Amino acid sequence: MVIIRLARIGAPKKPFYRIVVIEKDRARNGRSIEVVGTYNPRTTPPAIELKSERIDYWRSVGAQLSPTVAKLLTKAAAIAAAPVAETPAPVKKPAPAEKPAQVEKTAPVVEAPAEAEKPASVAETPAPADETPAA
């Protein structure tokens, strides 16, 4: 049976795929019958290039689509059917004005709190007077 599926060809951690027509029993990256497109998920938006007439031919002779390729085809059809909306040009922020000379920040002066009232249990007693014996 012939199937249309993805074959990974990107470097490690940088995936890039070919959409290939291949025998179902072959390895993922095995020898393919025909390359019918590419898929690059690393671009924004992901780039999908298809040879739609070749895909239609292979489907007409009995090739099955893998679930992933089926999703990509519907996504590509939706993108092709949707009108391209013009995106507005990005708004550039004005250059920041020169900052005035920075004023040195000093720590605020904290005044010592006024003596709080002492509890009534602590009675203030006057200091004893020095008594010296008269000689």
- For 13-64, write each residue's pLDDT tens digit: 999 999 999 998 888 888 889 999 999 999 988 889 999 899 999 999 999 9
In a domain, 134, yes or no: no
Provide the number of structural domains found in the chain. 1
Query: Token pair 């019918």 is at which residue?
Result: 36
In a domain, 124, yes or no: no
In a domain, 77, yes or no: yes
- Backbone φ and ψ for 27, nearest 5 degrees, come out as -65, 160
Give the CATH number, domain containing residue 36: 3.30.1320.10
In a domain, 28, yes or no: yes
Which parts of 24-115 are beta strand (E)?
34-40, 47-50, 64-65
- For 41-55, write each residue's pLDDT tens digit: 999 888 899 998 999
Q: 74 is in which domain, residue-wise?
A: 2-81
- For 90-113, write each residue's pLDDT tens digit: 667 776 777 666 666 666 666 666
Is 19:40 a contact under the CB 8 Å cutoff?
Answer: no
In a domain, 54, yes or no: yes
